[in-house]
Structure 1
Amino acid sequence: MTMSRKNLLLSAVTLAVTLILALLAVEGALRVANYPPAPPIGWRWDESPYRAPFNASENQTNQLGLRGNRIEYGTDDFVIVLLGDSQVEAGTQNADKQPEVVLRQELERAGIRKVRVFSVASAGWGQDQQLVWLNEYFRHYRADLVLNWLTPVNDYWENTFVDRSITREAGRLKPTYTLTGDRQLQTVMPASVDLRLASLVGLAKGRISLGNSYTIEQYRLDRWTARLPSSQSPQAASGVCPGNEIDQKILIGAYMSGNRNYTLVTDEDLPDGRSHFSPFLKNQSARDRYAVDVTHRLLEELGNVSKAHNARYLMFHPYRHDLDAAFREIRCVRTADGRLFEYDGSDWMRHLKATSLKDQLITFNVSADEALSSGPNDWHFNEEGNRRAMHALAEILKQKKLVPQAAD
């Protein structure tokens, strides 16, 4: 090698090292300054998005910061963990009407005395956050039985994205997993490496293109969405969808008033898979299928974690005479921009029932003369709905001998 080539190579190496050191220095300075600020990831009761006004200042939480009674039990108590989302957290009801309280009361009425029930749940949680917090629970406490209350119209799409939002605008970031080629779960959020310089560049580019309202959450969402499978799904053929249209906001009321066989109108981001309706389209996109796959893998892992800590893991879903039945009458979904997609709401559990997970699933019917929802536009159980659901669940647990039997 000639001297000139050696000098050129040395100059190139020196320049590269200098550039790397400069970038490291900038990255270090940004970390010290916490800029762009690291966004919060996940939430508990203190930041729950689903609270009735009268619960705004209520702060009855367990040691994990989750709504519920303190986690305390005796050596011979049978301990149940009620795992889930807003259905378990019950933010529109008084603390003494939470499902954990009602289930314990129903079991005690059945003669099962030495039982304790604790909540590991918060509104808007998918199985991703449930997995994080079930692991945290088992770091400190034991359980004999983990009961996972499934909300299929939420779970599938919630587990797909790094945030929770039903629009293209990013919501609060949350713990998120993805699937590797061999179906192992890999953590996506929080990121293993959080490069502030890359975030700064991405944030700057976004604000140049879209304005100052562009957030770091939006940058993280956009980057993740670009990695997801395609959300393209065939639209409904002409003449397939019923002319009878029902707004999503009045779905339960419309059904209970006698409406049947309708097209549901939604303002959710259905075309991108960010919707309660995405997983149950007749013609699923690749992204919808991914949502199902990653959710089922998370459910498997919840079972694995429970088993590793000597607890039995079961899932349950109450089929409701109002909400589930109303969804069964949806034939198509129309988006705000007029696109129509065929829909199959015949059974929210059908994806899960097609897998071996069905062996860990408990289902039962809950019905009444009137709707059991918290309000005319609210899909959550009201107090009576929770009572009926927990009564039915307690009966099944007793009949199947999944809890200690009452003394003779």
Structure 2
Amino acid sequence: MKKSNSIYTSKLIWFLGCRFVSTVSEQLLLFAIPLLIFQYTGEASKSGLAFLIEWLPAVLLLPFIGVLVDTYKEKKLYIIGDSLRALVSISGFLLLIYMPSQTFIILSVAASLFAILNSLNFVTLETTIGRNFDNNDIPRIQSLIQGLELSSQVIGPALASILVLFIKEMDFLIITGIAFAVTGFGVLGLPNKAKNLVVRETKSIKRVLGTIGDGFKFIAKNFFLRLLVLATMLINLVMGTVMALNPAVAQGVLGATSREYSFLAMFGGITGSIVVLLIPVFLKKSKSINNIGIASIVLLTLSGVILGIANQFYIYVIGYALLVCGIGIFNVFLRTERVKLIPKHQLGKSMGTIVFFNRLSLPLAGLITSTFTKITGPQEVILGVSIFWIVVNSTIFTYYFYNKRHAAQKDVLEL
């Protein structure tokens, strides 16, 4: 029995270890590709255009990724998905060597393919946990994965800051290619205790679109949920704008080196992780979840202003860290409120549609940055989007809290 448990644990460690390496590789690509695009073009507008190209296909294909996961076995999806990511990495590296004049196109297409495949990996991992582990094991596995994801946001940029001392950013594609080639077979480490993988009924495109439509109708009928979806879209718009323009601001405006640029993501990851760990303590002391929402608004407001006016790189880093912390806190508020608003039988349809709308802001951020950076500077674009967010989201949250309190008082009176 002890031997069986030991094998189970070792296989689980191997599987989670491979997923961790995969996530760190994603962080390396998030560092290298935007930086390479800006270094090659020297134009903030091209960085925005690349961001649009990266996210638009991934967002549009998101509903159909769920169909793939429902139709095919996880093992096959892991192997195919990571093998394709390895192929894109190696092919991208070779194309950059032999076709350097097409760097922008090569990297933009590669980023788009990575975004699609990364989404496939994320959805597959979530499904793997639910289908392949006992209910008693799921909380432990989820906490482990959450810890690995937070760690990768620190370790990935830290590793990048070391690697740039010895290799070019372009060489990161070789490293990630090798890593993905290995991690694709990490699924073979799924414990023997895992449930038999069952392939569900194949869904037609018509049924998928019907499911999206059902989710949209439910959201449209729920006043509070509509406000939360809109607020989240606007926050993601700010985050997407900052992500698209980080290289242009850090290197083009503030003169940061590649190693200093890696510190931006690393410091954001560290502070974000600390805040996530402290949220339960804050929740115990706070009387209302509304205080969490208000705290996120304050942090996001400060971050937008600082990012837009920073004249030193270290100030910009502080602004970015506040942005990451604000989003982390807001996510806790959002998930807590969302659970109260969506019935369990509507959760699947609604969440798919909500994620679709939330991520739709990312290609929109790319469109905004590629358009307006031709007229003004990248920091001015960040500041403009932030001011727009501050005005609109402050109104949304005021309206949300007021109507929520009014509805609660009405329920008390009716009782």
TM-score, L = length of structure 1: 0.24
TM-score, L = length of structure 2: 0.23
Specify which structure has the higher proportion of strand.
1
Specify which structure has the higher proportion of helix.
2
**Greater relative contact order structure (CA < 8 Å, 6+ sep):** 2
